[in-house]
Chain A
């Protein structure tokens, strides 16, 4: 153990503060003092495992833990789909938006042939708020009708996962797998946060120790982890393909994680995870977090969705998107096997991924094309908010990450097409 050298700053400050002599102990001497202090002040009680300890043990052991994890995941997903999809969106929002809001706007907005009708109300013949694709129709439907209930319930379940103490146990359970892709168990924390929103997830990669781990995690986040808003819209517009899209993302996560962990120099040390005791989530904290996150969504996401539709519609009117679609046609049609119109949603995807998927659902496609294009939109580029936080964590990493991203999109997009051809669906 080394004797730490006194640093200039704190020492001189200490002298200023009160003339005390700052002295630095060796680590061993410090532990000796800790032991002496604890011996004089702490008396340990009799230990008997509580219910929380027993449950805690069961959720960490692979034999019982993996089934528990799968059950938790399934419960999570069921609550998510039934509350956000079936109850709120289909049972409530669709009726309001398609039954009242859209027909009302279509009847009062003047001149269906004008540019402003196209931008704000959208397609005059549309009979649902998704296809209309105007700022005031699809913009509000996507953000409030579909995505808001989805993120609300997602954040509620995620908060309970966070506050109960299950996350560190999941980290222990996932450690073996994550080590194969250059990460360790604790990487599950940013991965799960990323399912809510990639922005806090990027910052959460700070809990990983090495640059290598952080780079791999950040890149995989940007590539393969769809956010809550995106999950919500996927469930609303392509419920029958969500499973297969997920499978593609999961395989991509494992495959490219494996490749990256071998290509990128650096270490992937073992970790000691501090597993806290289970406790009941505190109502106030859950409510507080839910409110903060929802508020952030309302403040940041909705303007972006509205602005995104405005921009996409303007680009359509200006002929930019059709021109881009023609330009990219060879790549899209030949290499990825998706319609050239996918170029439009790719632009929207830079602003908001949920918007891009809403837009994709309006392009006539085969089931294979839909899956492939949704996967492409998910992985091709981080949304602008994620891009900005990644930049804050280091521009070199961001540039490298983008280079990896583009390569992966190209390779994986082609692979999915190839598999599609082999299976005879593409």
Chain B
């Protein structure tokens, strides 16, 4: 079900299992997706609506997956959702205490060329373990909005909702370039997502 009105955007929530997608989804839409503390709670998708500003987002909570090469039927649901909604925005949810594996999936999703936004969730758990994530730097490097969140307490959910409209298509080549320290390619596109423009 792609956007039928101009102001309706479909948002797919993609992320590793047990990173808090459903909790975040419930926070954003007021829906009642089942939340548990074990990977594989969500095996089917749930839809909810978020109205932010004057835009309507249809948010879809998708089963967690470790990669886009599905291992089981629940992961197949996730990959199928991505394939069938190429015009959707993807909200990639990461576990702040296990950033690396989340980034792997994030890169895979970014390569599909869909507009992305990252939620670095469980930031509270990361604080407890004294792990710090420089989300501003991550945002600059990836060129898509990166928002720290704690779904359980609702921290960061508001700005995540507000930033949804700034979701951008990430260019993997550019990311690679920024990692090597190359200055952003001059000319071409005026804006590299949120990378470095300090918000509008």
Contact = CB atoms under 8 A, between A and B. Distances in A.
Interface in A8-54: 9-18, 20-25, 30-31, 33-38, 40-47
A86 to B, nearest CB: 29
Interface of B: 16-18, 23, 32, 34-41, 43-44, 63, 71-74, 77, 82-83, 86-87, 99-100, 103-104, 107-108, 111-115, 125, 129-135, 137-138, 141-142, 152, 169-173, 175-176, 179
Interface stretch (A66-74, A244-252, A273-281): A273-281
Given A13-B86, A285-B35, A23 B111 contact: yes
B133 A42 contact: yes
A38 B43 contact: no
B134 A41 contact: yes
Given A45-B132, A203-B43, A11 B38 contact: no
Interface residues of A, number: 62
Contacts of B100: 34-35, 38, 42
Given A277-B125, A289-B34, A37 B141 contact: yes
A47 B126 CA distance: 11
A255 B87 CA distance: 50
A15 B35 CA distance: 36
A34 B103 contact: yes
Interface in A325-357: none
Nearest to B104: A34
B129 A162 contact: no
Contacts of B18: 274, 276
Interface stretch (A114-122, A205-213, A414-422): A205-213
Nearest to A15: B113
13 contacts: A9-B83, A13-B113, A17-B114, A20-B169, A30-B107, A33-B175, A42-B133, A47-B129, A206-B77, A276-B39, A278-B37, A281-B37, A282-B35
B129 to A, nearest CB: 5
Given A36-B179, A206-B74, A21 B32 contact: no
The CB with the most chain A CB atoms within 10 A, among B86, B87, B108, is that of: B86
A165 B37 contact: yes
Given A9-B86, A13-B87, A204 B99 contact: no
A375 to B, nearest CB: 30
A276 B35 CA distance: 14
Interface in A121-175: 159, 162-165, 167-168
A18 B199 CA distance: 20
Contact of B37 (A45, A47, A203, A276): A276
Given A206-B73, A274-B18, A168 B113 contact: no
B130 A46 contact: yes
A30 B72 contact: no
Contact of A40 (B16, B107, B141, B176): B141
B137 A41 contact: yes
Given A42-B133, A207-B43, A33 B179 contact: yes
A292 B32 contact: yes
B2 to A, nearest CB: 10
| A-B residue pairs, 6 tightest by C-beta | A45-B130, A14-B113, A13-B86, A22-B113, A206-B73, A207-B40
A43 B132 contact: yes
A41 B113 contact: no
Given A15-B113, A34-B100, A163-B37, 8 more contacts: A10-B82, A33-B179, A37-B142, A42-B100, A45-B131, A45-B132, A204-B40, A207-B39
Given A41-B137, A45-B129, A164-B37, A33 B111 contact: no
Contacts of A208: 72-73
Contact of B38 (A22, A36, A42, A189): A189
A22 B83 CA distance: 14
B131 A162 contact: no
Given A34-B107, A36-B179, A207 B137 contact: no
Contacts of A31: 104
Given A17-B113, A22-B112, A276-B38, A40 B99 contact: no
A38 B34 contact: no
Nearest to A45: B130
A82 interface: no
A45 B125 CA distance: 12
The CB with the most chain A CB atoms within 10 A, among B36, B112, B169, is that of: B36
A150 to B, nearest CB: 21
Given A14-B112, A23-B111, A292-B34, A282 B176 contact: no
B138 A41 contact: yes
A174 B160 CA distance: 40
Given A45-B131, A277-B125, A7 B172 contact: no
Interface string A215-245: 0000000000000000000000000000000
B152 A10 contact: no
B179 A7 contact: no
Given A13-B87, A17-B169, A23-B111, A37 B38 contact: no
Contact of B36 (A14, A46, A47, A163): A163
A288 interface: yes
Contacts of A12: 86
B138 to A, nearest CB: 4
A267 B38 CA distance: 24
Contact of B179 (A37, A205, A214, A279): A37
A31 B67 CA distance: 12
